[in-house]
Amino acid sequence: MRFTLLGSGTSTGVPIAGCQCAVCQSKHPRNFRNRTAGLIELPSGFTILVDAGPDLRHQCIAHRVTRIDAVLYTHGHADHILGTDDLRSFNFISRKRISCYGTTETLASLRRAFSYIFDPEPMYLGGMLAQLDLHDFEPDGILKIDEATLQVFSLPHGNVNVTGFRIGELAYLTDFKGLPAAAEPTLRGVKHLFIDGIRYEPHPTHNSIDEAVEIARCVGAERTYIIHTTHSVDYETVNPALPEGVELGYDGLKLAFSA
């Protein structure tokens, strides 16, 4: 299987529009971060998008995504769902509907934000609406998408719950603060860990970088990639300062992994 990190930035993206700080003015390519999202390609070519944020169109063009068969939504925050309308492009290409997976809580947010797609006007006369099928799943357990088996678990993120998952050698944990003890055994010894670590300063609903590093150490992750980082995180100063086996995730990071 292959994984591509389509975006590694926090909800505003980096640079933040209008911000004059050094990181937002930086020309270093890894200080350009689209909203956090990922792409899983199965050996058959079946492709699962992880979150459809507001940068989806740009991400698909930049990373030459030609196929999306399914979407796994981690939660219903704007930076993870607002690209949903752009899934239409992949309906046009494949002439197939796209299966969208989320917990009941996540799908409720998606239905609210995109009521024109999921509850269309009977007399609608515009262009083709996105052709999406919603599938809910239990927050903790096994989720099968095509040939892929994902172990899903719930992560605390303020007053919403976020879906974290492990698929073989890879785990993806965005938008949360503090790992619930119940999720630890699922993550033990994971080879590639993508984990929210927004910045060094503490945050009420996201791990700090130090908290993320501690979780990675605790579960014995081989290789850790910090994601969902904000504009106080300068790639050139923070990345070299991270402990062995830990690095900042960056847009376009690609790796191969096994089931």
| Residue ranges in contact with Zn ion by CB under 5 A | 11, 16, 19, 21, 24, 77, 79, 175, 231
- The smaller minimum CB distance to Zn ion, of residues 90 and 176, is found at 176
CB 20 within 8 A of CB 49: no
Taking the complex as a whole, the smallest distance from the CB of residue 24 to Zn ion amounts, in Å, to 3
DSSP output for 60-95: HHHTT-----EEE-----HHHHTTGGGGHHHHHHH-
Taking the complex as a whole, the smallest distance from the CB of residue 206 to Zn ion amounts, in Å, to 8
Start-to-end Cα distance in the chain: 7
Question: Counting beta carbons within 10 angstroms of the beta carbon of residue 92, is it exposed (0 to 12), middle (13 to 18) or buried (19 or more)?
Answer: exposed
- The smaller minimum CB distance to Zn ion, of residues 86 and 234, is found at 234
Taking the complex as a whole, the smallest distance from the CB of residue 5 to Zn ion amounts, in Å, to 14
Written as six digits, the tokens of 88 are 């239409």
CB 157 within 8 A of CB 177: yes
- The smaller minimum CB distance to Zn ion, of residues 4 and 69, is found at 4
Taking the complex as a whole, the smallest distance from the CB of residue 51 to Zn ion amounts, in Å, to 8
Dihedral sign (CA 40, 72, 161, 183): negative
- The smaller minimum CB distance to Zn ion, of residues 79 and 211, is found at 79
Taking the complex as a whole, the smallest distance from the CB of residue 254 to Zn ion amounts, in Å, to 21
- The smaller minimum CB distance to Zn ion, of residues 11 and 154, is found at 11
> 152 φ, ψ to 5°?
-105, 150
- The smaller minimum CB distance to Zn ion, of residues 42 and 101, is found at 101
The Cα-based distances of 209 to 38, 62, 74, 178, 197 in angstroms read: 20, 27, 20, 12, 4
Distance between CA atoms of residues 196 and 213, nearest Å: 10
Give every strand in the sheet of 192-196, ordered side by side: 141-145, 148-157, 160-167, 170-173, 192-196, 223-227, 246-248
- The smaller minimum CB distance to Zn ion, of residues 42 and 109, is found at 109
